[in-house]
Amino acid sequence: MTRYAMRMAVTLKSEVLDPAGQATQAVVNERGFDAVGELRIGKLVDFSVQAGDPAEALEVARRLGREFLANPVLERFEVWMDQGRRTGHDGE
Amino acid sequence: MTRYAMRMAVTLKSEVLDPAGQATQAVVNERGFDAVGELRIGKLVDFSVQAGDPAEALEVARRLGREFLANPVLERFEVWMDQGRRTGHDGE
């Protein structure tokens, strides 16, 4: 089994208002970052999955997104292998 | 000027405890996802930057991370161009 490093982005659907993002953008624009727009805040979840191969790890990660980490009414999620992060080899 | 879609990950430094991540992982493990480990929760910020070229857009985004979006004591940030997201061309 290998331990795969995964990263998930959970973001509000585009039709859902994001007051925290709007407030952050207003402050940022006021303080000199006027080139910044369309700011939206989401969640990031980093985790590892022990699996026999990358396809199995991705399948577990997608199921985790569907069943636990994202609210399907308001949110969408994307998940990918995080090549940059250290991945341990876990025994056999 | 072009509008570049950027994505920033703001994560706790590895030496900082993440109780929310630990609690989420415990629940997830209990509910059948025992292959999931090392779960940590961070913030994701999607935004656009109007700039003359990609290097300038990245520089603005990094400055935004340093000065506003990440707490340098507890957090680190990564920022990248989000090729997947629609980027508008913003007039001239």
pLDDT for the residue B91: 33
Whole-structure pTM value: 0.88
Q: Determine whether B18 is exposed, middle or buried from the number of CB atoms within 10 Å of its CB (0-12, 13-18, 19+).
A: middle
Contacts of B43 in chain A (CB under 8 A): 41-44
| ipTM attached to this prediction | 0.88
Q: Are A32 and A82 in contact (CB under 8 A)?
A: no
Write out the DSSP string of A5-66: EEEEEEEE-TTS--HHHHHHHHHHHHTT-TTEEEEEEEEEEEEEEEESSHHHHHHHHHHHII
Mean pLDDT across chain B: 91
For the cut 60, the answer to whether the pLDDT of residue B87 exceeds it is: no
Using DSSP's 3-state secondary structure scheme, residue B63 falls into helix
Residue B82 is predicted with a pLDDT of: 82
Tell me if chain A has a CB within 8 Å of the CB of B40. yes
**Hey, what amino acid is at B61?**
A
Give pLDDT, residue A85.
Answer: 60
Residue A61: the pLDDT is 97
In this complex, which of A5, A50, A68 lies closest to B35 when CB atoms are compared?
Answer: A50
Indicate yes or no: CB of B45 within 8 angstroms of CB of A33: no
Cβ of A33 within 8 Å of Cβ of B3? The answer is no
Model pLDDT, residue B88: 42
pLDDT score for B15: 95
B81 touching chain A per CB within 8 A: no
pLDDT digits (tens, 9 = 90+) for B12-58: 999 999 999 999 999 999 999 999 999 999 999 999 999 999 999 99
d(CA A64, CA A6): 11
Q: Is B46's CB within 8 Å of A49's CB?
A: no
Query: How many pairs of residues across A and B have Cβ atoms under 8 Å apart?
Result: 104
Q: How confident is the model at residue B84, as a pLDDT? A: 61
Contact B51 A43 (CB under 8 A): no
List helix spans (H) across B1-92. Answer: 19-30, 54-64
Query: In a structure prediction context, what are the per-residue pLDDT tens digits for chain A, which is 92 residues long?
Result: 999 999 999 999 999 999 999 999 999 999 999 999 999 999 999 999 999 999 999 999 999 999 999 999 999 999 999 876 644 443 33
The string of pLDDT tens digits covering residues B60-74 is: 999 999 999 999 999
Question: For chain B, which domains are there?
Answer: 2-15+41-81 (3.30.1280.10)
B82 touches B7 (CB < 8 A): yes
The DSSP 8-state label assigned to residue B65 in this structure reads I
Asked if A35 reaches chain B (Cβ–Cβ under 8 Å), the answer is yes
pLDDT of the residue at A82: 82
